[in-house]
A and B are shown apart, each in its own frame.
Chain A
Amino acid sequence: MEDLIEITVTVNGRAVHERVPARMHAADFLRGQLGLTGTHVGCEQGVCGMCTVLLDGEAVKSCLLLAPQLDGHEVATVESLAPDEGLAPLQQAFKEAHALQCGFCTPGFLMTATALARSGRTLSRDDIREELTGVLCRCTGYENIVTAVDRHINGEHVDV
């Protein structure tokens, strides 16, 4: 039996105390132990970006973090975005721009874009495209995703 490590971590604003194996990665912890299955697991080697969450407000790949590393930190997952009723503005922008097809990559894009929107940076469409390169979409190409994030951050454009 492996040693378990006690951690206290704030997940989506709620403090949780859990015991985790040292080698468990944070995405498995969020999904398997906390039941927050909005965080998706794709490659488990830091390439696809499906598992992106916010760690202390910054976008990170949760498959490259070990669960014990979360101790004392704040995590936000895609479950934190929507209000009780309806969608968050960023999610609404994804819906309106048809920025998802199968939806598997969507949590990764939403969390990466959430951190980006909060950064307060001035961002061109090219900047946004560059900032989103750490999340892969295999359905559609990226135009509508970039459009959704661009509209969310910079407001409506007439040319799309």
Chain B
Amino acid sequence: MKPAPLQYVRPASVAEAVDALEEHGGMARVLAGGQSLVPMLGMRLMRPSALVDINDLGAELGKIDGRGEETVIGALVRYSALETSPVIAERLPLLQEVVRHIGDRQVRNRGTIGGAVAQSDPTGEMPLVCLTLGARVVARSVRGERTIPIEEFFEGSYANALEPEELLVGLRFPLAPVHCRFFERGRKHNDFALLSIAVAGSPDADGRWSGVRIGLGGVNDTPVLAEAAAARLEGRTWDTATIAEAAELALEAADPPDDVRASAEYRNHLLPIQLRRVLTDLAGAEPWKT
């Protein structure tokens, strides 16, 4: 469990970091929290020529900013900071709830939101919540900065739209609905999720919902939005029949893997049942309170 030989680069600024990534011509990897990357290096699943350690870039990448309706989270913001941030509690309560399901104390002390999104684990909680909340990914390289809508970001299992020379510098979240829920089922505590569900939306005074988004994790190569299910719920009050229809429609977004944790059949079995419960709970519930 030792990584292959590699170079270690510790830039003092984002500009130096993207220079280093460019210099290595796509063969370097960014080291943020390292909670997924370092085990993969040890198992030799990856053999980068160099690691570009961005942990000194807290001044540029470690901030949580509420700017008007938008909330901007730097790539190096650690889970433990998200857990306790009053800005996140007020503006992105779903994100704060989800963070508590990630890893354990030691992992949350190191792991970063940027690292999790760049890792693009299809069962990962952070990719799922960023997708559900419609975040935009900000990436920088020597050629400049670009913003990628999260719906276009995830391209496959552990694959995404980042170029190898690009550094994920932050995530920009739009105003989030107050009503949201997160559900996760794994074989055991802190294990990879078999199924995870994140739902957000806003009911009006008559109980008609708008801005409904349903994110699903663990049922496809990437986290996915259950668009047909959300469309069924949009603009309506949620009675039992509507919720049941939406829960079945969510299967359209699922193409789950058969793996050591569960069969595809079992995941397909779980999805409508659990989504129905989550929606029923949300329909009858108060706005999120943490």
B38 touches which of A2, A52, A64 (Cβ 8 Å): A64
A69 to B56, CA, bound (A): 10
Q: Which of B105, B106, B109, B110 has the most CB of A within 10 A?
A: B106
A112–B106 CB distance below 8 A: yes
B10 to A68, Cβ gap below 8 A? yes
11-39 of chain B: CB within 8 A of chain A: 31, 34-35, 38-39
* Closest-CB distance, B241 to chain A (whole angstroms): 38
Known contacts A58-B109, A60-B106, A112-B106, A45 near B39 by CB under 8 Å: yes
Rounded to whole Å, the gap between the CB of A53 and the closest CB of chain B is 10
CB of A84 within 8 A of chain B? no
Q: Is the CB of A66 within 8 A of B38?
A: yes
Bound-complex Cα distance A154 to B38 (A): 36
Interface residues in B23-73 (C-beta closer than 8 Å to A): 31, 34-35, 38-39, 41-43, 51, 53, 55
A85 at the interface (CB under 8 A from B): no
Q: A44-B42, A46-B35 are in contact. Are A61 and B107 (CB under 8 A)?
A: yes
Distance to closest chain B CB from A2 (angstroms): 5
| B46–chain A nearest beta-carbon distance, Å | 12
List residues of B (55-99) whose CB comes within 8 Å of A's CBs.
55, 80
In the complex, are the beta carbons of A131 and B55 less than 8 A apart?
no
Contacts of B38 on A, CB cut-off 8 Å? 25, 46, 63-66
Contact partner of B105 (CB less than 8 A), chosen from A23, A43, A63, A112, is: A112
Q: How far is the CA of A112 from the CA of B104 in the complex (A)?
A: 11
B residues contacting the other copy or chain, number (CB 8 A):
30
Contact status B3-A134, CB under 8 Å = no
Say yes or no: B8 contacts A133, CB within 8 Å.
no
- The verdict on A3 contacting chain B, using a C-beta distance below 8 Å, is yes
Contact at B189–A133, with CB atoms within 8 Å? yes
Contact B6 A22 (CB under 8 A): yes
- Residue B7 is within 8 A (CB to CB) of chain A in the complex: yes
B4: Cβ under 8 A from any A Cβ: yes
Q: Known contacts being A5-B8, A23-B6, A60-B110, is A66 close to B51, with CB within 8 Å?
A: yes
Cβ of B190 under 8 Å from chain A? yes
Q: Is B103 an interface residue when CB atoms closer than 8 A count as contact? A: yes
On whether the beta carbons of A133 and B105 are closer than 8 Å, the reply is yes
* Interface residue count on the A side (C-beta < 8 Å): 34
Q: Is A59 an interface residue, CB under 8 A from the partner?
A: yes
A134 close to B107 (CB less than 8 A): yes
A49 contacts the other chain (CB 8 A): yes
Smallest CB separation, A117 vs chain B (Å): 13
Q: How far is the CB of B51 from chain A (nearest CB, A)?
A: 7
Query: In whole angstroms, what is the CA distance A28 to B2 when docked?
Result: 10
Q: Are B51 and A22 in contact (CB under 8 A)?
A: yes
Cβ proximity bits A28-72 to B, threshold 8 Å, 1 near / 0 not:
100000000000000111100100100100111101111011010
Q: How far is the CB of B227 from chain A (nearest CB, A)?
A: 35
Query: Contacts A23-B3, A64-B34: A45 and B8 contacting too (C-beta < 8 A)?
Result: no
Bound state CA distance, A5 and B34, in angstroms? 19
Query: Chain A residues with Cβ under 8 A from B105's Cβ?
Result: 59, 112, 115-116, 131-134
User: Roughly how many angstroms separate A49 CA and B1 CA in the complex, as a whole number?
Assistant: 15
Interface residues of B in 184-213 (CB under 8 A from A): 189-190
Which 3 A-B pairs have CB atoms at the shortest separation, nearest pair first?
A134-B104, A44-B1, A22-B8
Q: List 15 A-B contacts (CB under 8 A).
A: A2-B5, A23-B41, A25-B42, A44-B1, A44-B39, A45-B42, A49-B104, A49-B106, A59-B105, A63-B1, A63-B42, A68-B53, A115-B105, A134-B105, A134-B190
Besides A58-B109, A64-B110, A132-B105, 9 other CB < 8 A contacts? A22-B7, A44-B39, A45-B1, A45-B39, A59-B109, A63-B38, A71-B10, A116-B105, A133-B105
